Amino acid sequence: MKLLKVDTLEASLDKLEAAMKAGGKGIPETEYVPVIASLGRTAAEDVLCGENIPGFDRSTMDGYAVIARDTQGAGESMPTFLDLAGEVEMGQSPKFELSSGQCAYVPTGGMLPHGADAVAMVEYCQPFGTDKVAVYSPLSSGHNMVHAGDDVRCGEVLVRRGRRIRSSDMGLLSAAGKTEIKVYKPWKIYIISTGDEIVPPEKMPLPGQVRDVNSAGLLGEALACGFNVAGLEVVWDSQDVLTDKVGSAMKECDVVVISGGSSQGKKDATAAVIDSLTSSGAFTHGLAVKPGKPTILGFDEPTESAVIGIPGHPVAALLLFRLIVGEIWKRLTGMAEIEKEIAVDAVMASNIAASPGRKTFQLVTLDYEHADTETGLPQVVPVFGKSGLIRTMSAADGYVVMDVNDEGLCRGERVKVHLLVR
Amino acid sequence: MKLLKVDTLEASLDKLEAAMKAGGKGIPETEYVPVIASLGRTAAEDVLCGENIPGFDRSTMDGYAVIARDTQGAGESMPTFLDLAGEVEMGQSPKFELSSGQCAYVPTGGMLPHGADAVAMVEYCQPFGTDKVAVYSPLSSGHNMVHAGDDVRCGEVLVRRGRRIRSSDMGLLSAAGKTEIKVYKPWKIYIISTGDEIVPPEKMPLPGQVRDVNSAGLLGEALACGFNVAGLEVVWDSQDVLTDKVGSAMKECDVVVISGGSSQGKKDATAAVIDSLTSSGAFTHGLAVKPGKPTILGFDEPTESAVIGIPGHPVAALLLFRLIVGEIWKRLTGMAEIEKEIAVDAVMASNIAASPGRKTFQLVTLDYEHADTETGLPQVVPVFGKSGLIRTMSAADGYVVMDVNDEGLCRGERVKVHLLVR
């Protein structure tokens, strides 16, 4: 029996990153897409703002543009009377300036005339005749207005490299006149499920057979990461067929993922296939991770493709896809540096044991209804299920991580829950 | 000046829900899609499992299927010797049964032969010759195996109505032999931005003009909610043109969203247009919400379309889209009942004031690096920006909510942060 060469998760990611960088795959390719088609894409450069936003002093209220010091001492019983110098039309540059003692009507979003430095809300003003306005409230400079450049100043960064574009970024880019954005091209992923016991989902399995869970699950995971999926395929445990399929997928794709067939069972061919097809040979023969020990990594320089063998059991497969393929994308695109992982503080509702010597990922749900009485934090309820049970992952809100040297987590202990929101 | 009829957010949602239900729009239409194309879609029915998963007793280890009581008393120095009755092939139903004193090789995922109730890991076994195996560890019934139905029992719910399909659900549905799933058809949304000061993003605005932020921002928000966007359009503040555009969009779409033009400014036409085009007339003329006061709702029975006027200022527009259109979708599809809102407990890093009489949504970032020393929770840093600044939303991790009667939040106070993750 060949002994597995087991890496930590971090070491395996370091090796994969190094191999991809050495093999010309250090940074994904880029392309320009319209901003309106950029939701969820990964920005490939820092986008700088070429101008001030807004480009002019702008009212945030319907009211009267004034010179603030003219309103000193104004009050409900003692208004300041100002001469109405004109009316600002939306979207137009006022043709007049304000001098002391004057005001001008300005709508929300309208441009302040030169000289004005505050806006009196219409509710605090009273027109007298056609040319005078009483202002019943004192204003300080800058009140009810934004200055040119208050939103973004010329030269500031709108969106950082590695940013996963959100709807608000699409708005911000539009505000700055950007209609296209340089983004990373999503990797093309090929997903292969192996195992003699696997039948396609539409088939009724015979005794001893199970339906293919990982094709659909990994497809979903890949799409959620923003990748393109070039193909899904079930390959039974013949090493020759697997070699053929993986070999052709490598020519076409950036990453080939093979689930199943990576434990020490008799028919397991994945390790041999990855070893033979990659120029580096398999450089990780197992991870000190639970679930997910039988994980095999290789990278092939001629085809510039990574080949990732992940466990057949569905929870491990989905989790490892995220922890390896998702994570390496984040590292190479800069997302890892700028994206904050939002973790929920919570309190263990029961004890759970770690797996000695392995980084343990435990699926959990968050119970907000029965919050911890002392801290008010949600309780963490482990979702237990024996190996291979996909329902646990569907039921989970997230996971907690126990490190290699942790023995486990105790009831009442504070933990961070990493969310499985997508 | 017409007085605004201001509703609470909840009251406006109740009215909109009631109007949509009364107008035949109470539940979105449904369609069947392949499971592999269902990521992010909303399940339109409880999907029941028609069989046990797995369908048979299954090994979770490479090892020897045994009858557990045969191994009582086994230990490192005193193995139990069993007769090797055969080998289970992956994906095959064993052709033999185990009787007392027998064992059979079984790979991970293999079917246990009838009679077996535990699996001895290969690491704790030693073959002797071709027909005997020594087992060096005692086993209890059920060890290293899953029983038929342990993952999902026949008749159990796989996915609930209202579930936003995740990758693990796609796997779970596949495991149960489901290749299609009934989902709600996404609403068709038409997005109109109004305002005389607005120019398209590709144009350089003249003094007094600003670029259209809301078309791209609301498009992103609608896509993130899973809706289809039938069109984006900028309409300048002519009531006639707006009436035409909204009227034709209503015939084609489920929801027409008009941003801008809903404050009390002189040229605001949105309220009049919504009032005239909907059979109900506008039933909400303002929300006790900050930002987002000038929000107008109507529903038209003949065209079965909702018309939503939201503020022009981008943060309010994006937030209100989510709080109204996103929320009403959740209510009508059942998502509101089953989807837990994951909120992050955190501690205010500074004081913020609420807006009296209005439910106040304050954008914030989470500072995990400078966690609160007493509670260890991340600190909440408000993202301040005057009305209309889109960058605040792009910079925010989420928002805190202050209720109508709250005066504000104090430095050091515990709060829930609602995430803006997409």
The rounded distance, in Å, linking the Cα atoms of B68 and B314 is 67
Mean pLDDT for chain B?
A: 92
The rounded distance, in Å, linking the Cα atoms of B286 and B271 is 10
* Residue-by-residue DSSP string for B55-75: SS-EESSSEEEE-GGGGTT-B
- Interval A112-136: pLDDT, tens: 999 999 999 999 999 999 999 999 9
Residue A151 in contact with partner chain B when CB distance is under 8 A? yes
Q: In this structure, are residues A33 and A180 in contact, taking their beta carbons and an 8 Å threshold? A: yes
The rounded distance, in Å, linking the Cα atoms of A179 and B135 is 69
Q: What is the pLDDT of residue A312?
A: 87
Pairwise pLDDT comparison (A100 vs A291), residue with the higher score: A100
**pLDDT(B413) > 50:** yes
**pLDDT(A332) > 60:** yes
Q: What percent of chain A has pLDDT over 90?
A: 81
- Interval B347-363: pLDDT, tens: 999 999 998 889 999 99
- Interval B188-198: pLDDT, tens: 999 999 988 89
**pLDDT(B268) > 80:** no
This prediction's pTM? 0.93
Q: Average of pLDDT values for B64-73?
A: 96
Q: What percent of chain B has pLDDT over 90?
A: 81
Name the β-bridge partners of B189. B229, B255
A198 conformational bin, left if phi > 0, alpha if psi -120 to 50, beta if neither:
beta
- Say which residue the tokens 């605090």 belong to: A124
Q: In this structure, are residues B365 and B394 in contact, taking their beta carbons and an 8 Å threshold? A: no
Please give the structure tokens belonging to residue A363: 């699926």
CB contact (8 A) between residue B389 and residue A263: no
The rounded distance, in Å, linking the Cα atoms of A136 and A123 is 9
Residue A266 in contact with partner chain B when CB distance is under 8 A? yes
Give the residue among B188, B316, B199 at the shortest CA–CA distance from B260: B316
Pairwise pLDDT comparison (B344 vs B386), residue with the higher score: B344
CB atoms within 10 A of CB B362: 26
Residue A312 CB-density burial (10 A; 0-12 exposed, 13-18 middle, 19+ buried): buried
Q: What is the pLDDT of residue A309?
A: 94
Strands B414-419 and B343-348: antiparallel
**Could you say which of B167, B196, B208 has the minimum Cβ distance to residue A318?**
B167
Mutate to test the interface with A, among B193, B394, B413, B416 (most CBs of A within 10 A): B394
CB contact (8 A) between residue B387 and residue A146: yes
Q: Which of residues 229-248 of A touch B (CB under 8 A)?
A: 232, 237
Nearest residue on chain A to B369, alpha-carbon basis: A340
Q: What percent of chain A has pLDDT over 70?
A: 96
* Cβ neighbours of residue A291 closer than 8 Å, sequence gap 6 or more: A311, A313, A315, A316, A319, A361, A387
CB contact (8 A) between residue A36 and residue B218: no
End-to-end Cα separation, chain A, in angstroms: 39
Q: Which amino acid is at B21?
A: K
**Could you say which of A146, A174, A414 has the minimum Cβ distance to residue B211?**
A174
Q: What is the pLDDT of residue B111?
A: 95
Mutate to test the interface with A, among B123, B172, B178, B422 (most CBs of A within 10 A): B172
Q: In this structure, are residues A317 and A311 in contact, taking their beta carbons and an 8 Å threshold? A: yes
The rounded distance, in Å, linking the Cα atoms of B262 and B285 is 9
Tell me the three state secondary structure of residue A255.
strand
Tell me the three state secondary structure of residue A204.
coil
Query: pLDDT band at residue B1, thresholds of 50, 70 and 90?
Result: very low
Query: pLDDT band at residue B265, thresholds of 50, 70 and 90?
Result: low
Q: What percent of chain B has pLDDT over 70?
A: 96
| A91 contacts on B by Cβ (under 8 Å) | 195-198, 206, 208-209
Name the β-bridge partners of B164. B42
Q: In this structure, are residues B162 and B334 in contact, taking their beta carbons and an 8 Å threshold? A: yes
CB contact (8 A) between residue A217 and residue B414: no
DSSP 8-state assignment for residue A45: S
- Interval A158-168: pLDDT, tens: 999 999 999 99
Q: What is the pLDDT of residue B263?
A: 52
Pairwise pLDDT comparison (B271 vs B253), residue with the higher score: B253
DSSP 8-state assignment for residue B322: I
Residue B157 in contact with partner chain A when CB distance is under 8 A? no
**Could you say which of A58, A376, A422 has the minimum Cβ distance to residue B166?**
A422
Query: pLDDT band at residue A1, thresholds of 50, 70 and 90?
Result: very low
Residue A196 in contact with partner chain B when CB distance is under 8 A? yes
Q: Average of pLDDT values for B171-187?
A: 97
- Interval A191-227: pLDDT, tens: 999 988 899 999 999 999 999 999 999 999 999 999 9
Q: What is the pLDDT of residue A269?
A: 81
Rounded to two decimals, the ipTM of the complex is 0.93
Angle at A24 between CA A23 and CA A30, to 5 degrees: 145
- Interval B96-113: pLDDT, tens: 999 999 999 998 889 999
Q: What is the pLDDT of residue A204?
A: 93
**pLDDT(A5) > 80:** no
**pLDDT(B264) > 80:** no
CB atoms within 10 A of CB B211: 26
* Residue B398, H or E segment: strand B398-402
Pairwise pLDDT comparison (B265 vs A151), residue with the higher score: A151
The rounded distance, in Å, linking the Cα atoms of A333 and B241 is 45
Nearest residue on chain A to B91, alpha-carbon basis: A197
- Interval A253-280: pLDDT, tens: 999 999 986 555 545 688 899 999 999 8
- Interval A360-411: pLDDT, tens: 999 999 999 999 999 999 999 999 876 567 889 899 999 999 998 899 999 9
The rounded distance, in Å, linking the Cα atoms of B125 and B79 is 9
- b/e string for B114-148 if b means 16 or more Cβ within 10 A? ebbbbbbbbebbeeeeeeebbbbbbbeeebbbbeb
| B40 contacts on A by Cβ (under 8 Å) | 422
Distances (CA, A) of A92 to A53, A122, A133, B263: 16, 20, 22, 19
What phi and psi values does residue B398 have, to the nearest 5 degrees?
Answer: 180, -160
Q: What is the pLDDT of residue A139?
A: 96
**Could you say which of A170, A314, A421 has the minimum Cβ distance to residue B217?**
A170
Q: What is the pLDDT of residue B242?
A: 93
CB atoms within 10 A of CB A291: 23
CB atoms within 10 A of CB A184: 23
Q: Average of pLDDT values for B218-245?
A: 93
Strands A132-135 and A80-87: antiparallel
Q: What is the pLDDT of residue A271?
A: 87
CB contact (8 A) between residue A174 and residue B58: no
The rounded distance, in Å, linking the Cα atoms of A308 and A302 is 17
**pLDDT(B5) > 80:** no
| B390 contacts on A by Cβ (under 8 Å) | 151, 168, 171-172, 175
CB contact (8 A) between residue A170 and residue B219: yes
* Cβ neighbours of residue B143 closer than 8 Å, sequence gap 6 or more: B68, B118, B119
Q: In this structure, are residues A31 and A23 in contact, taking their beta carbons and an 8 Å threshold? A: no
| B159 contacts on A by Cβ (under 8 Å) | 394
Q: How many residue contacts between A and B have a Cβ separation below 8 Å?
A: 342
CB contact (8 A) between residue A171 and residue B213: yes
CB contact (8 A) between residue A212 and residue B179: no
Q: What is the pLDDT of residue A387?
A: 59
| A178 contacts on B by Cβ (under 8 Å) | 201
Q: In this structure, are residues B346 and B296 in contact, taking their beta carbons and an 8 Å threshold? A: no
Angle between helices A239-252 and A270-277 (to 10 degrees): 50
The nearest CA of chain A is from the CA of B14 a distance in Å of 24
The rounded distance, in Å, linking the Cα atoms of B265 and A235 is 66
Distances (CA, A) of B124 to A3, A4, A210, A291, B76: 16, 18, 27, 21, 9
What phi and psi values does residue A152 have, to the nearest 5 degrees?
Answer: -140, 135
- Interval A228-245: pLDDT, tens: 999 999 998 688 999 999
CB contact (8 A) between residue B93 and residue A212: no
**pLDDT(A184) > 80:** yes
Query: pLDDT band at residue B385, thresholds of 50, 70 and 90?
Result: confident
Residue A50 in contact with partner chain B when CB distance is under 8 A? no
Written in H, E and C, the secondary structure of A80-146 is: EEEEEEEECCCCCCCCCECCCCEEEEECCCCECCECCCEEEEHHHEEEECCCEEEECCCCCCCCCEE
